[in-house]
Chains A and B, each alone.
Chain A
Amino acid sequence: MTSVTLVNGSKWGERRYLAGAIVALVLIVLPTLNRELPVFGTGADWLAYPMHIMVLIMIWSLAYTSWSLMGRFGLVSLGHGAFMGIGAYGTALLWNYAGLTPWIGIPISLALVAAVAFIVGYPCFRFRIVGHYFALVTLALSEIVRQVIMATRDYTGGSLGFTPTPYGDGFSLYALQFSDRTVFYYVALASWAFGLWIWWRVDRSMDRFALEAISEDEDASAAAGIWVTREKLKITILSAVMTGFAGILYMQYQQFISPDTVSGIAISLQIVFAVVAGGIYVMFGPTVGAIITILLAESLRVAIGVSMVGLDTTIYGILLVLFIIFLPKGVLGGILDWLSRRKAG
């Protein structure tokens, strides 16, 4: 009886909001804690590493959430690594070679991302390239962008990676370079929250109904007045631009990018895996996916070191198969389903 009351109706809803508010407060207050507390004995900044991991989680959560905007409607893109790469490399190249501040470079790069999304998306949607074929076309995009980065290695550094030119003393609003991790922590936190807000807005829009309808039956959708090509393009461009922005954040934070970290098929697949693992149909699913994948990669790195290159990818692969078979709604989706079943009876 008690357990039923605990998770029942409005109480459960209230609890959810309360939990959300507490998490938000903790995330906001965290960096203001005393860094010199001898928590782990050394007296060094004990928060530096957890905050680094959290910034990474938030940036990748933004990318994953962006992908799920379209992925949840059956628009499975394997090209999102390309959008990250175009955003990151675009902004960094404009900074190094044209001296353009990221404040101008970011909008230019995002416009380029939108243009590429349009150029790839329009013919696909106009000529009904859906399902596996759409995934294949976008997969090619991932590889093309990686190849372009490699081919222009005189400018991009190819597989050796690329470093934006440092500016000033490491704290510059003009260059968006901050050696102090706290600033970036808040930037990442705000961006992640913004990504979730967009997800929520899409979820409550009429476009969501249109996209659900399109994912089931394009002819019937068109007969009901839905402009199928335009609806798909809208969500694809939104998703691509947000993913590009996540790439830019990653570049500005790490001050180093390489084709392996922000573009190419591996990143595209990592995005899909993380979202499937976390939960593709729920708002915080991609975030849970980011937590799982990044903690997994970090633990493997700490436990095994770099002696077994590719081990994390192998484990991802095995987990992906297991998730698709046993937990198709992902970790969070599965938990929420279980809770609502308990609530119902």
Chain B
Amino acid sequence: MSGAILTVEALTKRFGGFTAVDKVSFTVGEGEILGLIGPNGSGKSTIFNMIAGSLQPTAGSIVFQGRELAGLVPNRICALGVGRTFQIPRPFRKLTILENIAVAGYFGQGGHVSRKEAWATAERSLDMVGLDYEAGAEVGSLGAAGLKKLELARALATNPRLLLADESLGGLDQSEMDQAAAMLERIRRETGITIIWVEHIMGVLMRVVDRVMVLDHGEKISEGLPSEVAHDKRVIEVYLGSDAEAVQANV
């Protein structure tokens, strides 16, 4: 691990009396892919939203490239180099596919970008995620997999150093899941972006990520190499259950 790009310390989020995330600490190394897994409601998305600025932490700190992110607004965090996708794609349906990405390329790179550069960035990002589109094509023409790619391309167009991929491959079939996993791997290889990948289906993720962190009820219960985590007793108990052997065979 060549130096941490993100250091999270004792991050806590309480909604009223309910503690969604409880003193979670972790670091992500430059260029690493960290898998963040856990059952539904385990606090994955809450951690994500706190890093991206759409939720403010109750306590704890999030340091990205030496800067505290807690307290900053989402567009500021985006400008500093943190891109994010949403679990359920949220495209801008009044804009064309290319405009969807160009708007992120123009406003999201954290400095003045010319229109030309923004459009070039958009085309590059769409290329990278392998989304085929026709000039002027509407978002409405895309299926589930296409929308996922659009979502990813929009995050990439903001030129992030850290990508928060809320992938949730739930709606995709096996080959689409494999494609999505291969894509994240390729993006990392080509751009050197650090990626945190949130997922609740474990199989595909375990083959791609460098390290895995497992959450349950807002607490970190395990962290390590995929092969270690897949054999961790607590992880098997609360999360893998009868799928344990299938997952272990994969890593």
Contacts and interface: CB of A to CB of B under 8 A. Distances in A.
A30 interface: no
Contacts of A212: 92, 94-95
A223 B86 contact: yes
Given A219-B90, A225-B75, A210 B107 contact: yes
Contacts of A216: 92-94
Interface string B26-39: 00000000000000
B92 A226 contact: no
Nearest to A215: B94
A319 interface: no
B54 A225 contact: no
B90 A226 contact: no
Most A CB within 10 A of own CB, among B75, B95, B108, B158: B75
B73 A225 contact: no
Interface string B139-158: 00000000000000011011
Interface in B105-145: 106-110, 115, 118
Interface stretch (B57-65, B96-104, B171-179, B209-217): B96-104
A213 B78 CA distance: 16
Interface in A201-255: 206, 209-210, 212-213, 215-217, 219-228
Interface residues of B, number: 32
Contact of B107 (A206, A217, A220): A206
Give the bracket for the number of chain A residues in contact with chain B.
10 to 19
Contact of B103 (A210, A215, A222, A228): A210
B70 interface: no
Given A216-B92, A219-B90, A223-B86, A206 B106 contact: yes
Contacts of B106: 206, 209-210
Nearest to B76: A227
A212 B158 CA distance: 18
25 contacts: A206-B103, A206-B106, A206-B107, A206-B118, A209-B106, A210-B106, A212-B92, A212-B95, A213-B94, A213-B95, A213-B100, A216-B92, A217-B90, A219-B74, A219-B86, A220-B86, A221-B92, A222-B74, A223-B74, A224-B108, A225-B75, A225-B79, A225-B110, A226-B75, A228-B75
Interface of A: 206, 209-210, 212-213, 215-217, 219-228
Closest 9 CB pairs of A and B: A225-B108, A224-B104, A222-B74, A220-B90, A225-B78, A209-B103, A225-B107, A213-B92, A226-B107
Interface of B: 52-54, 73-75, 78-79, 84, 86, 90-95, 99-100, 102-104, 106-110, 115, 118, 154-155, 157-158
Given A224-B104, A226-B108, 8 more contacts: A206-B107, A209-B102, A213-B92, A217-B92, A219-B90, A222-B78, A223-B78, A224-B107
